[in-house]
Amino acid sequence: STWTGSKAASGSLSVSGYPNGSYTFSLSCTNAAGTTVGSTPFTVSATPAPIVDIKGWGNSVPQGSPTDGPVAMNVGDVGGLEWTASNATSCTISRDGTNLGSIPVNGSADVGPMVVTTTHTISCTGPGGTEDDTVIHTVPAVPAVTFSASPTSAASPMSTTLSWSTTNSPTSCTAGGGWSGSKTPAGGSQVISGIVTGTT
């Protein structure tokens, strides 16, 4: 209700429906001796939205000093998450877009052993809405190799050209089987001659 009209000499009344802003409520009371006016200020403000902060630690970041930024990891490392939320009544966590369920409003958890780059997002809800925050643990991608021989068969003795290309920036490549030694990680080709009867 709104604050207007005649009121009892004593009592209480709930008021509602006022938009955001500042107000002054007043009450004027009169008897034979005169009139007294009392007033009180009142402010209506929007319910604050949740504030969510998730941090990560791991290979490149110590557990005692988690960071908002990406956390560099090696394959097989175990890292962790720490999070806090205010103005929130519930929170959930997801990994790479898959909801993993409810979690405490404040807490921590281990993640790993790491295999690939992983994104964790915490979403928290309260009277003022829903907010989220994200942290990423980055893991170098395993190198991939495309390898071929041309031709793959011919009369003995034969020659063939071995060709290879790589992705995810390997730092070294080593040959085995019918050839040997260190090979260019960025890719290349090599002619192999004098292959005699049989399979190599």
Q: For residues 68 and 119, give the distance between their C-alpha atoms in angstroms, rounded to a whole number.
A: 12
Q: pLDDT digit string (tens) for 62-113? A: 988 999 989 999 989 999 999 999 999 999 999 999 999 999 999 999 999 9
pLDDT confidence of residue 58: 94
pLDDT at residue number 1: 47
pTM: 0.59
